[in-house]
Amino acid sequence: MTNILIIYTGGTIGMVNDPKTGALKPFNFSHITGNVPELKRLNYNFAVHSFNPTLDSSNMTPEIWVELAIIIEDNYSRYDGFVVLHGSDTMAYSASALSYALENLAKPVVFTGSQLPIGEIRTDAKENLLTALEIAAAKREDGKAMVPEVCIYFDYMLYRGNRSTKFDSEKFQAFTSTNYHPLAEAGIRLKYNEKYILPHTEKPLKVYKYFDTSVGSLKLFPGMDPRFVSGVLSTPGLRAVIMEAFGSGNASTNPAFLTVLRDAINRGVIILDISQCMGGTVTLGHYETSDELSAMGILSGYDMTYEAAITKLMFVMAQNIPLDEQKKMLTTSIRGELTKLNGQR
């Protein structure tokens, strides 16, 4: 039989109404079959690892990402796949971080959650959970995992974790993947888009257990005061920054603004340029307004999501490698998180 480990961190999916107070409270996930009797029909062996106490995803931290990675590492040989139940607000951050932490992953790690608690009549929790379990158990004809990567399943769509972002706080369709194709779609049957799924590897799993949080982010807006930018980039201990620029990576050509950026780079601060747009890619040097950025050494984040970019900064800064190698890693796809188009530098 297929063996699946459910890791419950917290979030809306694990809530039920307290009949006395009417307030939402976490239920004991070891009794999950009582709330989702359909699980018995899947004919899987599954175990539940529940965080105690459970976490609202707004309280997620890099230390918890490492804890998740270690749980998977410790149970890797005993289970065919893993389902992580997680609050939706920071799910894309956690899925992105786990994709970097788990190198040579050959088994599915499927994040899911819900917009309504599992005990509600109109809940999306049951479908999300049941299908996530099916995906975690799915195998190819050769017996290898169908989806050997970290992914997010929500509202009938399976996305690569580090290509996903939460874009709606109310609809059941809470996530999207603007710059990459869905890995699978759930209709009458599960339809896998195999050519977009990462290839299987025979290499042993390698787990990274540290993220460096000496990073920051700077979202540009018209009229931004260079003194504010200077204050951000002068933060003590700061090593790297995500700069959310306009369009295809463009920014103001104000000399005072550019001087602040150049001074930070000269101090060894890495600046990674991503777009504020949900779709498309950064193309430094394509317009005059980004030519100077490229010339001073600002790096292109290409088509990475914000969640993938900020967690990648934390991951790369944690590697004990020279600055040039860190820059190369940031601008190279290591887990399928970015795509370089022809002609991009």
DSSP 8-class letter at 122: T
**Nearest-5° Cα angle at 339, 243 to 311:** 45
- The rounded distance, in Å, linking the Cα atoms of 125 and 116 is 7
Paired tokens of 41: 């029909």
The length of the chain, given as a count of residues: 345
3-state secondary structure of 210: coil
Q: Is the dihedral of CA 55, 61, 65, 71 positive or negative?
A: negative
Active site residues: 12
Give the strand pairing for 15-17 and 175-176. unpaired
Region for residue 80 given its phi and psi (left: phi exceeds 0; alpha: psi -120 to 50; beta: otherwise): alpha
Continuous segment of H or E residues that includes residue 325: helix 323-330
- Distance spanning both ends of the chain, measured CA to CA: 48
Paired tokens of 88: 């939706």
DSSP 8-class letter at 336: S
* Residue 153 burial (CB count, 10 A): 28
Please list the alpha-helical segments (H only) found in 46-113: 62-75, 91-101
Q: Establish how many alpha carbons lie within 13 A of residue 82's alpha carbon, considering only the half-sphere containing its beta carbon.
A: 30
Show Cβ contacts of residue 114 under 8 Å, excluding neighbours closer than 6 positions: 11, 12, 13, 88, 123, 124, 125, 128, 129
Cβ contact 106:144 at 8 Å: yes
3-state secondary structure of 319: coil
